[in-house]
Amino acid sequence: MIVEISPTELSLQKIADSGQCFRMNRTRYGKYELMAFGRYLELEQDDHSVTFHCSDEEYSQIWSKYFDMSQSYRQIAEETAQDFGADEFLMDAMLEGQGIRILHQEFFETLISFIISQRKSIPSIRRSIEALCRKYGDPIHVTRVTGEEIVRYSFPSARMLAALESEDLKDCSVGYRAQYIIAASQWYLQKHETYNLESMGFQTAVNILRSEVFGVGIKVASCVCLFGLHQLEACPIDVWMQRIIDEDYGSDIPRWMDTQYAGVLQQYCFYYKRNL
DNA sequence: GCCCAGGCGTCCC
DNA sequence: GGGACGCATGGG
């Protein structure tokens, strides 16, 4: 499946390096691979198109939603420029971040991934998640575009992780987060189905997550809402965003953080600040 | 040895 | 509600 799209609307490099997903990797220049939904996907990009190495059906049923292809990020940028054109930092970040989209990732994987993320660097998060998948996920046998046969691993199920003891996660370098991972998996098994978090709105969802899930506070809950529930008003404040507030806005929370697309703008700023 | 990383639970006020 | 503190682990 080939999609005609500009790198300013979809950039595989920027998405892979934007800290929202941890299982998308560059293989060679312009080529990427990712695991999601227990599937393996290869992608490549040039100046005018992105190739999804899958059938048209798989693209339209799975990956178009995952990559949020129905959303026009150009329109978000235009609206933002109208409302906040005087905000120099935001305008610079938006230009630098052009091509980043908010992926619609699986809820459980997002929950566990961002529990792992706390007080860790992004490379370290990736290593922990890969170790977790290798140990408790299912092996997926894949034939790459090149013909090479490889094995990848799905993200573990909640049932699998909920049955573990803390010591079972020793090899995954998750440290004190082991108990959080297990508790969150048990919460997911017991309570997730009793809610409809997808349709319930950001404020309600974020409050349920932070009050019910041990190891989930305001920041992780916001990341789960943004990346796992696709609630674009969720605006996670991590150390980098706090640094932006302090260094670039004189410690005053900018108005755009309380808008409909705050999460998208937050992602541009996060990417921009980290690559400054 | 030090400081930092997409923070949170606990204790205390 | 907010501030201080401890927390596992790896990299610079």
Quick one: pLDDT at residue A7?
98
Query: Using one digit for the tens of pLDDT, what is the confidence trace for A80-111?
Result: 999 999 999 999 999 999 999 999 999 999 99
Query: Is-above-0.85 flag for pTM?
Result: yes
CA–C1' gap, A226 and B8, in angstroms: 19
CA distance A189 to A183: 10
Residues with CB under 7 A from strand C: A 119-121, 123-124, 170, 173, 175-176
Smallest CA–C1' distance to C12, residue: A121
CA distance A162 to A184: 8
**Tokens 């630098």 belong to residue:** A96
Q: How confident is the model at residue A30 (pLDDT cuts 50, 70, 90)?
A: confident
Query: Using one digit for the tens of pLDDT, what is the confidence trace for A173-224?
Result: 999 999 999 999 999 999 999 999 999 999 999 999 999 999 999 999 999 9
Query: Using one digit for the tens of pLDDT, what is the confidence trace for A132-168?
Result: 999 999 999 999 999 999 999 999 999 999 999 999 9
Mean pLDDT value of segment A245-263: 97
CA–C1' gap, A135 and C3, in angstroms: 40
Cβ A72 vs Cβ A66: under 8 Å: no
Nucleotide nearest to A177 (CA to C1'): C8
Lowest mean pLDDT, pick from A29-33, A187-191, A238-242, A271-275: A29-33
Crossing angle of helices A262-274 and A239-248, rounded to 10°? 80
Nucleotide nearest to A124 (CA to C1'): C10
Q: How many CB atoms lie within 10 A of CB A200?
A: 15
Q: How confident is the model at residue A29 (pLDDT cuts 50, 70, 90)?
A: confident
Q: How confident is the model at residue A2 (pLDDT cuts 50, 70, 90)?
A: very high
CA–C1' gap, A228 and C5, in angstroms: 31
CA–C1' gap, A230 and B12, in angstroms: 37
Distances (CA, A) of A7 to A45, A101, A229, A235: 8, 11, 25, 24
Nucleotide nearest to A243 (CA to C1'): B6
Quick one: pLDDT at residue A135?
98
Query: What is the three-class DSSP state of A165?
Result: coil
Give me the sheet containing A39-45, strands edge to edge. Answer: A2-4, A49-52, A39-45, A31-36, A24-28
CA–C1' gap, A204 and B12, in angstroms: 29
Question: Which nucleotides in chain B lie less than 7 Å from some protein C-beta?
Answer: 4-9
Two tokens, residue A238: 């991590």
Query: Using one digit for the tens of pLDDT, what is the confidence trace for A41-83?
Result: 999 999 999 999 999 999 999 999 999 999 999 999 999 999 9
Smallest CA–C1' distance to B7, residue: A118
CA distance A270 to A257: 13
CA–C1' gap, A123 and C10, in angstroms: 10
CA–C1' gap, A122 and C9, in angstroms: 13
CA distance A114 to A40: 21
